[in-house]
Chain A
Amino acid sequence: MVVKVNNLVKRYGDLIALDHFNLQVNEGEIFGLLGPNGSGKTTAINCILALLKYDKGTIEVFGQAMAPDAYNIKREIGIIMQNVAVFNELTVQENINYFCGLYISDKKKRASLVEEAIEFVGLNDFRKFYPRKLSGGLLRRLNIACGIAHQPKLIIMDEPTVAVDPQSRNSILEGIQKLNRQGATVIYTSHYMEEVEQICTRIAIMDRGKIIATGTNDELKSMIKAGEKITAEIFGLDSLQIQNIKNLPHISSVEYDENMLVVKSERGKNNLAIVLDYFRVHNIPYGKIYCELPTLNDVFLEITGKQLRD
């Protein structure tokens, strides 16, 4: 077990930012912590890094109790904070060298690690730039390079892709997967469900300081009743037919508005085939038709009754 958090409680005055928060991250995982803004992701990360006092609970990293002076643990962690933390007075290369130097004192080794990190995030052409001269996406990449240059066993990333252009975002996500293949365990927080679905091997969904569900992408989706959502363009459907569709097996709701039929099904096999069969048998012509699998948003919606993104 790389990280183990037990019953963590953190209060800011009256606000309970973490409410008996539990987390277990295994070696080799890309562990996603998904939750809307203000759900407590950053608070949890800061507690895990012993940067924040908490009211209750225990935190273990690499099987040892985490503490402000647990320097041997900190040495193995790579930190990418939600807010970019670099020196504006140092160049790209100097920044990476500075942060790497906090972990690696051997100069030669450090020089080659810094080179690798620059290469890794693709900042080769910008190594002499000062951070203020970098675009948002490049700045995020620098932030990442500073966190991973020393090749840590555990990488903790707090929303590393906020306010990043799609191109930089993709390269960052691919980079994370590459680091993971090279052996790093990754904890990744985000409020973008697409990112988490895309790269995380296991996901915890968070709301109001609590973990509300944990599992792989598929496991999470199989926890809920909702199945596919089928949308079809059909002209002049009458209310009897709508009622008939509603009575098909596994159909939970049917809406028809402006010639668009939206059929929500419960989890089950062949939902799409059954609906299509009905159209064929009853000679109902349809234009474009598509079928969406449930998303993590549906998981969130079903458990909390609200949208992941508001």
Chain B
Amino acid sequence: MQVYKAYFKIIKQNLPAISIYVCIFLFITVMLTYFGGEKTSPGFSKTKINIAFVNDDDSAALAVGLRDYLSTNANIISIQNNEESLQDALFFRKVEYIVKVPAGFSQSFFSGEHDVRIEKTSVQKSQSSVYMDFLINRYLSTAGLYTQNMPGISGSQLLGFVKSDLEQQTSVQVKAYGKKTDSRVATYYTYLVYAMIVIIFLGVTSIMLVFNDPDLRKRNLGSPLKSLSMNMQLFLGNMSFAVVVWIIMVTIGFLISGKAAFDINSVMMYINLLCFAFVCLSLSFLIGNLIRSREVQQGIANVLSLGLCFIGGVFVPQQLLGKTVNFIASFTPTYWYVKAVNDIEKLALINITNVTPIINSMLIQLGFVVALLAVALVIAKQKRVSA
């Protein structure tokens, strides 16, 4: 365990620099958490916005149900049903959002074809418009469940079922928010992505730079120390470092959570963050095996942390990023970490359906860990003999 022991002596020498990083980034994160504005999440919007609801459908059952449902979450303003007045209303901000149920919608919906879609128009993509999208989707997907599973269900039956379902969900949510899970907690864990990437990356690669110095590398490779053993010891050292960083971050999170620190939700946040710490670790380990200079190290730290934060929905919520971006982002581990944070925040009822996506997000992160680590070890082994 020579390498592992040397690791800690080296990191001890780097401690002042690392502590400064930890302090700076924790400070930024905590500032953002408390003063950066609350992160609003769907299903939890208190201000009602003005919308217009236009029904061109003849068999109105579904449209009426949807209108009822939306009216509990938005103010429905009556506007004349023609293109010009609707555009005017939008332009003068009489309404922020227009829902238009086209002719033949119900029929298409009940037949299960879904080829006639509800038209949604909004001033611009704003949080409230995303919220409206979300409500409509929720209503229709609940209704869709019944039409799929109970063919031949009548319109009024369907409306009754959906209504009671959604009310139940709503009442559960009200209860959950009545417990008031501090949205700062989720904000903290979201912004933490940036700090985690930077701190773990700089810490790990600083040590890797020492061991990968060409002269020291040659010297170590000339010794009977096996390449696998060397890399495992280095990885173990790096892992210990990542775990220490995780403990520090969780301790702060602990303080922010206050009384809720031992809730299932909080515990899941800790575990999720640990998964992400390992992601940062293996990513840094891989890149650390490739880079040779401090300048490159700094450059990559910036590109990596900012890039992963933007695409993964740290600075801009995932709901606002659009399908394509989220699709691309789903190939990055940050996306899954942030998704898990969002899911944990929304989690009110602990059951398999609700927890499975969270566990999946964590498992996907661990999948990234395994893949990155495997590549790192292959590269390290190949670079044993230089050309």
Chain A interface (Cβ within 8 Å of chain B)? 46, 49-53, 68-69, 71-72, 74-75, 77, 79, 81, 83-90, 94, 98-99, 101-103, 146
Contact = CB atoms under 8 A, between A and B. Distances in A.
Tell me which of A46, A50, A102 has the highest count of chain B C-beta atoms within 10 A of its own C-beta: A102
Contacts of B116: none
A215 B286 CA distance: 49
Contact of B225 (A77, A85, A102): A102
B349 interface: no
A101 B3 CA distance: 9
Contacts of B124: none
Given A52-B385, A90-B6, A103 B219 contact: no
B353 interface: no
Contact of B219 (A50, A85, A101): A85
Tell me which of B10, B14, B219 has the highest count of chain A C-beta atoms within 10 A of its own C-beta: B219
B383 to A, nearest CB: 11
A45 to B, nearest CB: 10
Nearest to A72: B224
A98 B2 contact: yes
B384 interface: yes
Interface string B203-228: 00000001001011011111111110
Tell me which of B2, B12, B227, B387 has the highest count of chain A C-beta atoms within 10 A of its own C-beta: B2
B47 interface: no
Contact of A51 (B2, B9, B218, B226): B218
Contacts of B5: 98
Given A53-B386, A85-B216, A102-B2, A77 B222 contact: yes
A49 B384 CA distance: 12
Nearest to A74: B224
B304 to A, nearest CB: 25
Contact of A79 (B13, B223, B385): B223
B10 A87 contact: yes
Contacts of B10: 87, 89-90
B1 to A, nearest CB: 9
Contact of A89 (B9, B384, B386, B387): B9
B174 to A, nearest CB: 57
Contacts of B226: 69, 71
B385 A81 contact: no
A21 B386 CA distance: 19
Contacts of A49: 222
Contacts of A101: 2
Interface of B: 2, 5-6, 9-10, 12-14, 210, 213, 215-216, 218-227, 384-387
B123 to A, nearest CB: 58
B53 to A, nearest CB: 68
Per CB-CB distance, the 6 closest pairs between chain A and chain B, nearest first, are A85-B219, A101-B2, A89-B13, A102-B223, A85-B215, A71-B224
A53 B223 contact: no
B224 A94 contact: no
A90 B9 contact: yes
Nearest to B384: A68
Nearest to B9: A90
Nearest to A146: B219
A84 B386 contact: no
A162 to B, nearest CB: 13
Given A51-B218, A53-B385, A88-B210, 19 more contacts: A50-B385, A51-B386, A53-B386, A68-B384, A68-B385, A71-B224, A71-B226, A74-B222, A81-B218, A84-B215, A85-B215, A86-B216, A87-B9, A89-B12, A89-B210, A90-B9, A90-B10, A98-B5, A102-B224
Nearest to B221: A51
A90 to B, nearest CB: 6
B224 A103 contact: yes
Given A74-B224, A102-B223, A83 B2 contact: no
B6 A53 contact: no
A98 B1 CA distance: 10
A75 B225 CA distance: 9
Contacts of B224: 71-72, 74-75, 102-103
Contact of B218 (A46, A71, A77, A86): A46
Nearest to A83: B215
Tell me which of A46, A50, A85 has the highest count of chain B C-beta atoms within 10 A of its own C-beta: A85
A74 to B, nearest CB: 4
A52 B386 contact: yes
A46 B13 CA distance: 31
A213 B15 CA distance: 54
10 contacts: A51-B218, A51-B385, A79-B223, A81-B222, A84-B215, A85-B213, A89-B13, A89-B14, A90-B6, A99-B219
Contacts of A99: 219, 223
Tell me which of B14, B221, B224, B225 has the highest count of chain A C-beta atoms within 10 A of its own C-beta: B224
B230 to A, nearest CB: 9
A146 B218 CA distance: 14
Contacts of B13: 89
Given A50-B385, A51-B386, A89-B10, A103 B223 contact: yes
Contacts of A98: 2, 5-6
B387 A53 contact: yes
A86 B221 CA distance: 13
Given A53-B387, A68-B385, A79 B9 contact: no
Nearest to A49: B222
A186 to B, nearest CB: 16
Contacts of A75: 224
Contacts of B223: 74, 79, 99, 102-103
Contacts of A146: 219
A79 B215 CA distance: 12
A87 B14 CA distance: 13
A71 B227 CA distance: 10
A49 B9 CA distance: 28
A51 B384 CA distance: 7
